[in-house]
Structures are given as structure tokens and as C-alpha cells.
């Protein structure tokens, strides 16, 4: 099988070209053609040496993901479904906003974490995506959406699509480096965000290898409730997670961590839960909260918190001096909102056989101080 050049960050591509007897500057030229111009035909790479084009022919290719479908929402959101083989498909979402264009990228076919409120996790896990499959989502969207005259529309990438990015670390980091490279997409570290369910050891590794903006799916103010919602919490717990967040900020491009908090009616959305969150993070972790309206799906057994309840919860955090936003629901009409990405996955984990379907009841929040 031919080598997919989307699998390489610039250093890896330079090493590959060196193996073909070429100098690094040829790899830079090739990298720019692929990522800045979206070109996949070596013969059209006009300033690339003819000898290199000849060497690449038959041994290398720029292989994107086959597109299955494209859906456009009334609010401008676009969702693509890509075929990743083996009966699996992943979803990628573009979200236009007044001040930026955000691409939500998937890292796995399915997800093994199994968070109670996430439809992606409910369908189980099939496999990790390769670096090339991660990058291919940006490569496709960037050149599909680019305006006449070459004006770019994607300036923000969030690893918040299908999967837990830090469980696919070996493929994730080279993909991030392609996004950040000035010869690639030239994105700022502040504009690339990795969202994690809370893999403490891997947060520490990312801090050393490629610190970008960090978002953590918190969703609860105590271990009992968080373990019921986010199974990963049973391994390390909230204290260890918050300590990892503090360490991460020593290298991070932003001076705060974003905590994602999915608002679940009668489960984690009381004023008492909000006050418990304040006590948990106020003096410990510089942070902001992003409150996410839950997008219900039948198998979850959960309901969305009423708008008034979300507003009251936010006020408790804001009154304590914590920056808090409520995420706008985007792409509802095309099932592209947070927690709705499901794709098509051949579940290798038989997650449906081990999901607990009993009603989820929130443990009592800690008493008021």
C-alpha cells in the first residue's frame, strides 16, 4: 500500500523525503502544497522538482477520507460524515460564528469512555483514527469552505468530535503539530483545543509534548456523581484531575482551563451543586465554565435542564467570580450539536450489553458552608 502523506507532520515528512534522497526544503514545499493549497496531485505541484514527483508516484499519495454525506443547518453549521472503512463512519462539524470559524474534529470511531450523557459513547468503540484520518477532516473542510480569493474560514479547531483524543495519543500529537505548523495550517496554540474526559497521565504528557488549549469534561462537583456520569473518574478522581490541570497551566497557551459541564435535569444542576463547584475550583484552578444544554437521546434516560435552571446555576458561578458561559445549541436540525455525534460504528466493545439503564439519581450535594 502507498504511504499517505497526511500521516506525516513536517519533521516526519522531511525524514521521509530524506529517505528518497531529497533535502528538507523539498519537504517544506510538499507540505505547503498539501496543506496550504489542498493539492493531492503531485503533477500539479509546479515548483516541486520533477525528479521528486517521479519518486513519489506509485509509492505515496495524499489520501483524504471518502465523503458519505454533507448536511447544512439553517444556522450555517455544516456536518460531514466520512467513511473510515470496516463499516465505520465518523462525523466532523463546522460551526461559523461572528468572530471565528470552528471545526470540531473526531479522533476515534466511537468512544470507549462511555459517558452516560453522550450518544457517541453509547454506541461503543471500534478503533482509533490514524494521524492522516484526523488531519484529513481539517484538510477536507479547509479547502471545501475556503472563500474565492483564498480567504480562510477555519481559525479554530476543537478536538471535541467523536472519541477521547487522549486515548489516541500517538496519532493525536502529530496531527496537532500539522495544525500548528506555519507551513501547514498555522493555527495558534490558543486556537487549538483538546477536550478530555480526564485522563490524568495523558494530560501530563500533553503538557510536555504539545501544550494547546485544554478543555476538561467535568460534569459533576464530587466523585460519587462524576463516577456515575464519567466512568474514567473511577481511576483517578477529581482531586487528581484538578492537580493535573494546575500542572498543565504551567505550559498552556491560555491561563485557564475550560470545564465543560453538561446540564442534566435533576442530576447535577441544583444550586447546591453549583456552590459545591465553587468550593471545588475557586482558589485551586484558574478556570472558566462552559455549561452545555444536554441533547437527549432515548437510551440515556436523561433530560435537559430547563433554561431557567441553567440560568440560575450560571448565576451562582458568576456571583462567585467564575467566568461562565452557556453554550449555544448549534446544528440541532442536523444532529450536529454537542453530544449528538454518532456516525456509524461497528461496536467492538459490546457497550450495549454492559450499559446500566437504571434511572440515574444524583448523590446529595455537600452541605452549604
Which cell numbers hold the place of 141? Answer: 473542510
Please answer whether residues 235 and 216 qualify as being in contact, where contact means their C-beta atoms are separated by less than 8 angstroms.
Answer: no
Give percent helix, percent strand, percent coil of the chain, each to the nearest 5.
Answer: 40, 20, 40
Q: Which helix (H) or strand (E) holds 277?
A: helix 271-281
CB atoms within 10 A of CB 86: 12
Using DSSP, state whether 150 is helix, strand or coil: coil
118 annotated active-site: no
Whose cell is 470507549? That residue is 112
DSSP letter at 5? Answer: G
d(CA 87, CA 340): 19
- For strand 108-110 and strand 125-128, is the pairing parallel, antiparallel, or unpaired? antiparallel
Catalytically annotated residue among 22, 39, 91, 133: 91
Give the helix/strand (H/E) hosting 85. Answer: strand 78-85
Burial 269-297 (b: 16+ CB within 10 A, else e): bbebbbbbbbebbeeebbbebbbbbbbbb
- Give the active site residue among 17, 111, 115, 338: 338
How far is the CA of 178 from the CAs of 16, 39, 157, 239, in angstroms?
15, 16, 12, 33
Known catalytic membership, residue 91? yes
Could you list the active site residues? 91, 338
Amino acid at each position: 500500500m502507498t504511504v499517505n502523506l497526511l500521516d506525516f507532520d513536517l519533521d516526519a515528512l522531511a525524514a521521509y523525503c530524506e529517505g528518497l534522497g531529497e533535502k528538507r526544503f523539498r519537504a517544506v514545499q510538499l507540505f505547503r502544497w498539501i496543506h496550504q493549497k489542498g493539492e493531492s496531485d503531485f503533477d500539479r505541484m509546479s515548483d516541486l522538482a520533477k525528479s521528486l514527483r517521479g519518486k513519489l508516484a506509485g509509492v505515496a499519495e495524499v489520501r483524504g477520507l471518502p465523503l458519505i454525506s454533507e448536511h447544512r443547518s439553517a444556522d450555517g453549521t455544516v456536518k460531514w460524515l466520512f467513511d473510515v472503512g470496516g463499516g465505520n463512519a465518523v462525523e466532523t462539524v463546522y460551526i461559523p460564528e461572528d468572530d471565528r470559524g470552528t471545526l470540531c474534529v473526531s479522533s476515534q470511531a466511537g468512544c470507549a469512555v462511555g459517558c452516560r450523557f453522550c450518544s457517541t459513547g453509547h454506541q461503543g468503540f471500534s478503533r482509533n483514527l490514524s494521524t492522516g484520518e484526523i488531519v484529513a477532516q481539517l484538510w477536507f473542510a479547509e479547502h471545501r469552505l475556503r472563500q474565492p480569493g483564498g480567504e480562510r474560514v477555519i481559525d479554530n479547531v476543537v478536538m471535541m468530535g467523536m472519541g477521547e483524543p487522549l486515548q489516541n495519543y500517538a496519532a493525536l500529537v502529530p496531527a496537532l503539530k500539522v495544525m500548528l505548523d506555519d507551513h501547514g495550517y498555522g493555527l495558534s496554540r490558543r486556537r487549538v483545543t483538546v477536550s478530555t474526559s480526564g485522563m490524568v497521565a495523558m494530560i501530563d504528557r500533553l503538557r510536555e509534548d504539545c501544550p494547546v488549549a485544554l478543555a476538561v469534561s467535568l460534569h459533576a462537583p464530587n466523585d460519587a456523581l462524576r463516577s456515575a456520569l464519567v466512568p474514567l473518574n473511577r481511576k483517578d478522581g477529581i482531586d487528581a484531575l484538578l492537580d493535573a490541570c494546575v500542572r498543565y497551566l504551567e505550559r498552556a497557551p491560555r491561563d485557564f482551563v475550560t470545564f465543560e459541564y453538561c446540564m442534566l435535569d435533576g442530576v447535577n444542576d441544583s444550586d447546591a451543586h453549583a456552590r459545591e463547584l465553587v468550593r471545588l475550583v475557586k482558589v485551586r484552578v484558574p478556570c472558566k465554565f462552559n455549561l452545555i444544554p444536554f441533547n437527549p437521546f432515548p437510551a440515556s434516560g436523561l433530560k435537559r435542564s430547563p433554561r431557567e435552571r441553567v440560568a440560575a446555576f450560571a448565576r451562582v458561578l458568576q456571583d462567585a467570580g467564575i467566568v461562565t458561559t452557556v453554550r449555544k445549541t448549534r446544528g440541532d436540525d442536523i444532529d450536529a450539536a454537542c453530544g449528538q455525534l454518532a456516525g456509524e460504528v461497528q461496536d467492538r466493545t459490546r457497550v450495549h450489553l454492559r450499559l446500566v439503564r437504571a434511572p440515574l439519581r444524583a448523590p446529595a450535594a455537600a452541605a452549604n458552608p
